[in-house]
Each structure stands twice: as structure tokens, then as C-alpha cells.
Structure 1
Amino acid sequence: MTTTVPHPDPTTPPDYRQLFDALLSPLLLLRPDFVIVDVNQAYLSATSTSGSDIVGRSIFDVFPDNPSDPTADGVVNLRRSLETVVATGRPDTMSIQRYDIPSDDGTGFTERYWSPVNAPVLDAAGRVAFVVHRVENVTEFVHVRRVGRAQERARAQTQMRAERMEIDLFVRAREIDEGNVQLRAANGQLEAAAGQLRQQKEAKDRFIATLSHELRNPLAAATAATEVLALDLPPGNPVLAVLERQLAILARMSDDLLDATRSLTGRLELVRQVLDFRTVVRAAVADAEPAFARTGRFLHLDLPEEPVPVDGDRLRLAQLLGNLLTNAQKYTLTGQHTHVGLHRTDGHAELTVRDEGIGFDPGQGEELFGVFTRAAPTGPSTPEGLGLGLAVVRTIAQLHDGSVSAHSEGPGMGALFRLALPCAATRETDAVAPAVRPGPDPAPSGLRILMVEDNVDLATTYRMLLEHHGHRVTCVHTGHGALKAATGEHFGLILCDIDLPDLDGHTVARRLRAAPDGDRPRMVAVSGFNGPADRARSLAAGFDAHLGKPLEIADLDTLLRSWPPDRDS
């Protein structure tokens, strides 16, 4: 007689309790606070426990560390893994752990090794509702590996467990690969963002440098026009004084823009020599005194009797102190005092500039050396300037291996700027002040001068000034025009702009110098770019000298006096 076994109705939901107990893997179901909620038969068998004894208790109360094993770390490792699952909502696979369990007779602990995996069960809101703690008893596998027993049954069981571990390793490796892909993508995004930031910074620096350079031509033209006006106006004319002061302010802003760009891009260059720092300080204070006196402010100087030798760039150090003095003049009121002091201490030259001005918050000292940073808030009474002077001060100090700091007790309490530079290792006789030279000889006059300048207004004002000084001037506005004029007429001096619309000034100089049978007049480059590298390029192209814009006639006269009269005019 044949017995027919009825198939289960596929529409009937499965008995998950029965499935849970039927699973061969030992399983615990934990709350997020690690209290045991449920356990299957495989787990009870593996741990020799009963459900009534462990359900409702913390897993760490049921399975504490073996107190007789001082190296036991099962509780610590398991807690760390469970906390990771609860915190991240992701499964965590643990390495093989030794986690001894209480013995059946309750008198001690039985050695056990486990391969645990902890996985979250999420609720509808995505929060961890339970943690499934699955373990495999790998004690025999560990013992076999330790003592080298090779029973067939043990090898088979070990192989099965190894295959399961290999699967786990494969899954973990895949997770790592996915993580690496995400990391590479994130790194690519960061590199792209960094590249964009670099491009934006470079564009900003180019813009500031170009703006500073382009300002030079109108400034030079206005400055030259002011000098022309001064020829016909009586000394002390108030309108002329206003023009001169405001043009000086614009020129200083332009210089600050260019120097700030050079400092930010690392292109601020030094021409170093061992010098007596006192001479730099004395000259800078002497240059600043008229501006202080004109505005009713007082400037005091205290210098040591002994030389203060430093290895530095005289012009840049004078610029540094000039910026500090300009800053002091801006932020002091009529009748207030500024004190400049210099002394040697511990192998360093220490320069201080202390004023009685508006001061600043004590925590703001470091911020003042940032780009476009000002001590006073923007408003109708804010002194003129772009907030670049102190940024240039710090760069010059650092290029000299020195440091600069600012301090104030608070608003209205004045400010103290302190510069420290290493003293040069030199004999005192090497750091004396330069000798006083006799008065200059008169500048030569009656020169035939070729002025090469594409800015017509600037060329016109330069021509008027030079003709007033007794020279005969021809103006051209292009590089080709310069070559044509120079080959058709003899000139004693050529003043040539560098940034011309067709040929640059360097090309003009090289072609004139390369002419086989042409004259060799004195040639002076006149450019808005006036750094050491710019001057070197001009000299390499064949110019005899390089002067910056705005061109001061006094500077040109000084240059002409320095040349021996070895060429016809």
C-alpha cells in the first residue's frame, strides 16, 4: 500500500520559529543593548546552555571572560564588534576568537574558539532593531592546526569550515574593493577641486599683477603731467600738493598690489649684502618724517651707538620699515607719537615701532598680516589703502629668516610691531655706515632722446619734461617705429617701454644691438615691472639700465650723471 505524503500548502506562511531552530549555524538574537532576545537550538547545543537560563540576560553576563585566563579578551572584542554594528547599521565579521564558556558542572570554563559574524536587523525607519549574532565553533580546527592531528573527520570538517571562511574572506575583499573604488573617486574629486582652486588662485594673482602693471601707465602720465604743471605754478601751490599726495597714494597702492602678488607667489626677490641696519632705519625714518610733520604727528628714533650688521636687501628692508611707518601714520591721530627703536639682543637685531594710535583687539595681532586685512573697520573715516602693506612686511621678514609680530592691549591703546632679524656674522668694521659722497655733478643736457612709449599721454608729458630739461625728444609709439627712427637718425639716449603693441622692448634692444654698422646709443628700459628678474632680463637684452614707472626725472638725471661721457649725444 502506497502512502502519499501531502505537500505543504504554498500559500501558508512558513513557521519561522521552526526554521530558526532548524538552522545548523548557532544563532543569538540580541537587542541593541545586547540583551538576549532569542536563541536557536544549534547555539544552545554549542554552548551547553538552555533558553530559560540565558534569554532576557545580557550576553556578557551569560558569557563572561574566563577569570583564570589573564589574557582573555573575548568580551572586549565582541563588545567592540556589536557596538560597531549598532553604530553603523552594517554587518561586522570578526576574526577567530578564543572565548571560553562556563563548563557543564559550573566549576570552571571550557576552552572554545569561535568564528563570529554580527549582522543588524533594521526597522522600517532604518534603525537597528536587533543584532543577529552567528558563531561557528572552530575549536577543533584550532586544535588540529596547533597540534598537527590529521584525522580524516577533522580534516573534512576543517575543510568545510575553511570553505565557509573563504567565502567570508571573499565577501570582505569585495567590500574592500568597493571601498577602494569609492575612495579613488573621492580622491579624484578632491584633486579636481584642488586644481580648480589653484587655477582660481593663479587667475587672481595674474589679475592683480596685470592690474598693478596697467595702473602704472596712467599713474606715470599723471605724475609726469603734475611735474609739468609744477614748472608753471608757484612753489607750495595747494592744488599741486593735493595732486602730488594723491598720486603718491595711488602709486603706493599699485606697488603694494604688485609686491603682495610677488610675495604670495614666492617671486619676491632679494639682493642681499651685509649692511648696518641703523643706516636703513635712519633713512626710512628721515623719509617718513615730512609726512608725519605735515599731518601734525610726531616721530621719534632711538638707535644704538654700535653698528647692527644684518645680511639683507637694503631696499626691501627700507620698504618693510616704510610700510610699518605708513601704518603707524594712518592709525594715529593728530598730536600722537610714534617711537622707532633698534637694538641688538641674543644675536638678533630687534626693531620696534610703537604708536599711540587706535590699537586693536589683542587676539587680532596675527590676522593683521593677512592679505587685504585692515585694523580699522571699513567706513567714511577709514584711512586709504588696500590692506596689503603688512602682508608684504611679513614676507620680507621671512625672506630674511626673521619674524614680525603685532601686539596691542586693546582698542585705543596703541600698537607695537616687533621685527627680529638674525645679526650677520661679521666684524664691526664691516658694518659701518656708507661714507658721505660729495654733491652730484650736474646732469648732462642737450641729449637727442628717442622716447618709445605706446601710451600717447605718457609720451607727451615725458617729452615736455625732458625738453624743459634742455633735451631734444622724438616720440614713437611702436617697436617698429623705434627701429625705423633709430636707424634713420642718431640718438644719444633711447628710453623704451617694454610692453609695446607689436615688438616688445627686449626685441627692440636686441635688434638695435645686433645692427652691424649702427650707432650704439645708451638704452634705458622703462617698465611697470621693476623687480630684480625684470631688470636682469632688460640688461640681458642689451639695455644699459632699467627704470620703473612712474619714471622720475630725478632718477633719470641720477643715472645720466653716473655714466661717463664716453658717447656722443
Structure 2
Amino acid sequence: MSAPRPLPAPDFRRLFDATPSPSLVLAPDFTIVEVNRAYLTATHTTRDIVGRPVFEVLPDNPDDPSADGVRNLRRSLETAVASGRTDTMALQRYDLPSGDDGAFTERYWSFVNTPVLDPEGHVAHVIHRGEDVTEFVCQRRVGRARERAEGMEIDLFVRAREIREVNEQLRMVNLELDAAGRRSREEQRAKDRFIATLAHEVRNPLAAATAATELLSLDLSGGHPALSVLERQLATLARMSNDLLDGARAVTGRLELVRERADLRTVVDSTCADIRGLFAHENRTLDVRVPTEPVLVDGDRLRLAQVLTNLVSNALKYTLPGGHTTVRLTTERDEAVLRVQDDGIGFAPDQAAELFGVFMRAVPAGPRAPEGLGLGLSVARTLTELHDGTITAQSDGPGTGAVFTVRLPLPSSTTPELSLPKPPDHKRRELAILIAEDNADLAATYRTLLERHGHYVTTVHTGADALTATESQLFDVVLCDLGLPDLDGCTVARRIRSRPHGTKLRLIAVSGFTHPTDHARSRSAGFDAHLPKPLPLAELLELLDPVED
């Protein structure tokens, strides 16, 4: 008996090209390495897409602000590359370009991303497989005949079963990863909601306590030892509240910037002036050195000030009594360089990178650990990177102090030298002010503080009362909380603005919600300004200046 004839080796490229499921082979950086005919047919593309990034070939529809196909697919691909395991996506809308006129066609897909490992266990390629389920979705949407829908469901079920039979083990892993991913996303959303709500609720009593402290400082003209304690601890609570909000936004990538051409010297001077008083406690000192010439950067003044505040606060926490901190601003080649150096406890050199992690500290938590949440440096790093800059930490070891260095790019174009605004030369006049605030303690304290400065103040605690008050009496300024118990502050603002005299009032929103979307919402409702809680009296009086003669 003759030996059986050996079977020819399969041509895997031809097999891949003949696969009925639309498929791509991607490099780990998501560049298209190979594509099969089914994919080209489904997406109306040609083999010219090979060698191009997949998101360049298939971008989101720019005219659809809710389009999230690129973001969700990128997350799935990154998960597959990072874990070395298959990631299965839920039903996804991902519209396709339909021609040279920029139009897009609505499409729905079921995606599976499977990593291919090399002999060393590293991800060499990712097989991206998609099933176009648009017809099924459309049928379900318009309620077509039940028989056709059931037939499509059966067809999809058969296809899914065939895929599962190819590799049952991968399917089980996909299910486990998908369940874990859903739990993780739900837990993260719950944490975000909890942190934002907690920070908002903390701001109300914190604002009342801050205002009460300022009132005490007016009454106790000779000073009192307890006032400095209250001021330091309230400043710490305010910083922790901000860190809670910004820490959550940093983790979820929702921190945003409002860019302008800014002189870093004024940012450094004003920030250090605000925090210098805290260094007087236990004989610590703060030395600030800035150049004589402007140091211009394109950035968000408030966020840059927050970076410096977090670094200086960090130095203050880890510097022993009698210690010294130096803030130095210089320029090196095409960069602005900001250094914060202290002679505090320092840290092990190999710990430098870890300090910028979320909830990280230079010393373990314990009875002697400094106060704080361990979020300040993480937020500072995120803000610096949003400005296209870098931030590093350096220490020669415990007990040798530390240096934190921020480098920001200088703008390539030049602008005329900035001039500082001139202080107003007018005298303040007495204003009629309405305060709409449901926290009775905060409303009463602000009323007393403003009356001490010669203003006439009325307080109400609901949105309905605010509307009634502005009907019967014409005010110059309305300070309105956004979270009133009946009508929200934005509704109050819109109704006031709709009245004949509504444009003559100055409306100022005061709220613990400080996300950019909250600012945009209050601005669209008609507010002239949006201030965070707690609001120091000096900032409130400064804001009232523009409406005073």
C-alpha cells in the first residue's frame, strides 16, 4: 500500500482574504497591516488603506457631536494590546464616509479585537473583526415585520455560534473581561458621582465657615490666635475639596483649559502672595525669585496657578518648622522653567516617578503623616501635560529636601509687552444686593460682611423668593446659588433676564459645582460671572468693583 499523498500547506493569506467576516490586521500602534476583501466591501474602501492608521481611514463624523466610535474602538484596541487578551465590544454605531463631499452613512457594528502574540509573549498584531448589523438595527428601530426581525436574529445567532465554535476558550475569556469591564466602568462612574457630590456638599459649610472667619477678623481688630488656626485649616479644607474634584477629572481625562497669552511672573507673584501667610506658622519662610523681563506662555492662568499652589503646598507640608522653600522662575532656551525647592524631608531617588500617582505620598499614611489626600501632585502633572509641558521631582534622599521642576514651552510668536491693569480710581458706592442662598448660615454671614462695607443687602433662601424680590425691588447685584431647593439658579437667572429691567442687574452665580460645563450652563442662562465656593470676601468685593462708580 502506497503512503498517502501529503496535503499541500494552506495559503493563509488567501484564506484570510476569503474570510467572510470583514477583518483587518493591525500593528500595535493601530496601523493597518493587511485587509481582506469583505472589509473593503463593507467599508467601500480600497487596498490603498494598507499602511495608514485605522482612525485616519475611518474617522468620526465631524458633524455629529455625539459620535463616539473612534473613542470606543480605540479603548477596545488599547485594552487588547495592554492585556494580551481578546476584547469584545458592545453594539457600536460607527458611521462611514460615503463620498468626497464629506457625507457619512449611518452604520452599526459588532466588533471583536484579538491580539496575536509573538514567541516572547508580546503583542505583534491585532486582528480587528467586525460584523455590519445595520440592517438588523434599522429593522428593530422602525418595527418592521416580526418574521424578518426574527430571521435576522436567527442569522446573527448562527453567525455568533460559528464564531464561538472557532475558539470557545477565547469566548469565555471575552465574557469574563466584558463583565469585569462593565463592573469597572460602573464603579468608576459611581466614584465620580460620589466625589463630585461630596466636594459640592463640602463647599457650602466651608464657604460659611470661611465667611464667618473673615467676619471675626473684622470684629477682632486686635487679632486672636485662633483666627490664624482657622484660616490655615479652612485653606487646607478648600484645597482638599478642589483636589477631590480635579483628581477625579484628571483620572477620567475631563480637565479642560482656557488658554490665553499669560506672563508667568504675575502668576507666580499672585499665587505666592496668597499662600505666603501659611509659611509664617512655625517660622517657615518662602523666597520668590522672578526675572525682570516677561515670561510669556500660552496657557490657562488659573490652572497654572493651581500647579504652583499644589507644588508650594506640597513643600509646606513636608518642610519641618524653621524650614525654607524657594520658588524660582527662569527661561532656558525655548522653555519657561519653574522650580520649587525645599529643605524638607526629601525622598528616596527611585521614588520620584511614583510621587505623581493618584493618592501617593512621600511618607506612608499614619499619625505623623502630613494632611492631604495625595492628589495634589497628580493634578499638577495632568495640568502641566495639558500645557504640553513636563514636571519632574528630584531628591538626593531622605532628609535632603526636594526640587520639583515644571518646564513649559515658550510661544514661537512674539507679542507686545503685557501691561498690568490699572487699579480703579473711583470710589465705591453703596449697592443694593440680593443674596439667594439656601444655606442660612452662609447667607447671614455674607449679608453681615457686605453690610459692613456699606451695602444694602437682602437675603432669600429659595428661587421663588428671589424672583418675587426682584419684581418688587430693583437691585444692583444678585448673588445666586445654583443649587436652590425649588428652582435652580439658572432658571432664576433666565426669568430675571426676561423682564424689562432684567438687563440692568449684575447676576453672579455662586456654586460648589465648578466644572467647565457648569460655567457654560450659567453663562448661557445669563449670569455675568460664576464664582466657586468658598468665596473669599476680597474676591467678592473686587468683582463688585465694575458696577460701582
TM-score by length of 1: 0.65
2-structure distance, mates of 1:229, 1:177: 72
Q: Does 1:195 align with 2:179?
A: no
Instruction: Confirm or deny that 1:456 pairs with 2:440.
Output: yes
Match of 1:298 in 2: 285
Partner of 1:384: 371
Distance in 2 (alpha carbons) for counterparts of 1:540 and 1:230: 37
The higher radius of gyration belongs to: 1
2:429 pairs with 440, 444, 452, which one?
Answer: 444
Worse-matched range after superposition: 500-509 or 280-289: 280-289
Post-superposition shift, 1:178? 3.3
In structure 1, the partner of 2:197 is 210
Q: Given that residues 344 and 402 in structure 2 are in contact (C-alpha distance below 8 angstroms), is that contact kept between their aligned partners in structure 1?
A: yes
Task: Tell me, yes or no, if the aligned pair for 2:436 and 2:460 is still in contact at 8 Å.
Answer: yes
Mapped contact 1:274–1:310 kept (Cα < 8 A)? yes
**Which amino acid in 2 is paired with 1:435?**
L
State the Cα distance separating 1:416 from its structure 2 match.
1.6
Answer whether contact 2:477 2:506 (CA < 8 A) is retained: yes
> In the alignment, which of 379, 397, 420 is matched to residue 435 of structure 1?
420
Q: Deviations over 1:507-565 (max 9, x none)?
A: 01111212357684222111112344433321210122222212223222212212365
In 2 relative to 1, CA 177–369 (structure 1 residues): closer, same or farther, beyond 3 Å?
Answer: closer
Task: Provide Cα deviations, 1:380-436, integer angstroms capped at 9, x if missing partner.
Answer: 222211111101100110110111111222211211211111111132x63x45336
Whether contact under 8 Å (2:387, 2:408) holds in the other structure is: yes
**Residue 455 (structure 2) aligns with:** 471
377, 392, 396: which one aligns with 1:409: 396
How much is the aligned-residue C-alpha RMSD, in angstroms?
Answer: 2.5
What is the match of residue 532 of structure 2? Answer: 548
State the one-letter code of the partner of 1:494: V
Q: Where does residue 64 of structure 1 map in the other structure?
A: none
- 8 Å contact from structure 2 (residues 478, 507) kept in 1: yes
- Name 1:498's counterpart in structure 2: 482
Partner amino acid, structure 1, of 2:217: A
Is residue 419 from structure 1 mapped to residue 403 from structure 2 by the alignment? Answer: no
Post-superposition Cα deviations, 1:210-230, rounded to whole Å, max 9, x if no partner, equal: 111110100111112222222
Cα distance, 1:324 vs structure 2: 0.7
**Structure 2 counterpart SS, 1:226:** helix
User: What is the letter of the counterpart of residue 526 of structure 2?
Assistant: G
Indicate how the Cα distance of structure 1 residues 434 and 389 shifts in structure 2: closer, same or farther if over 3 A, else same: farther
TM-score, normalising length: structure 2: 0.67
Q: Distance in 1 between matches of 2:424 and 2:282?
A: 31
**What's the offset of the Cα at 1:348?**
1.6
Residues 352 and 232 from structure 1, CA distance in 2 versus in 1: closer, same or farther, beyond 3 angstroms? closer
Partner residue of 1:482 out of 436, 445, 466: 466
Of the candidates 494, 497, 502, which is equivalent to residue 510 of structure 1? Answer: 494
SS in 1 for 2:457: strand
1:471 CA displacement: 2.3
Show CA shifts across 1:189-214 (max 9, x none): 21121111011111111111111111
Contact 2:286 2:326 in 1 (8 A): yes
- Whether 1:337 and 2:317 are equivalent positions in the alignment is no
Whether contact under 8 Å (2:164, 2:171) holds in the other structure is: no
CA displacement at 1:288 relative to structure 2 = 3.3
**What amino acid is aligned across from residue 561 of structure 1 in structure 2?**
D
Q: How does 1:176-187 map to 2 (within 5 A)?
A: 178-187=165-174
Letter in 1 for 2:450: L
Q: Which residue pairs with 1:268 in the alignment?
A: 255
> Which residue does 1:33 correspond to in 2?
none
Aligned residues: 393
SS at match of 2:507: strand
| Contact 1:218/1:458, CA 8 A, preserved across alignment | yes
- Structure 2: runs of 5+ lacking an equivalent: 5-160
Structure-2 change in CA distance of 1:486 and 1:46 (3 Å): closer
Contact 2:435 2:459 in 1 (8 A): yes
One-letter amino acid matched to 1:468: R
Label 1:342 to 1:264 Cα distance change in 2 as closer, same or farther (>3 A).
same
Distance 2:270 2:200 in 1: 28
Q: In the aligned structure 2, how far is the partner of 1:280 from the partner of 1:211? A: 29
Q: Distance in 1 between matches of 2:505 and 2:265?
A: 40
Q: d(CA) in 2 for partners of 1:175 and 1:271?
A: 52
Give 2:134's aligned residue: none
Residue 251 of structure 1: aligned partner: 238
Q: Distance in 2 between matches of 1:205 and 1:550?
A: 21
Pick from 224, 235, 238 the counterpart of residue 237 of structure 1: 224
The yes-or-no answer on 1:535 pairing with 2:519 is yes
Rounded to whole Å, the distance in 2 between the matches of 1:511 and 1:484 is 11
Letter in 2 for 1:409: D
Match in the other structure for 2:508: 524
SS in 1 for 2:280: helix
| Partner amino acid, structure 2, of 1:403 | T
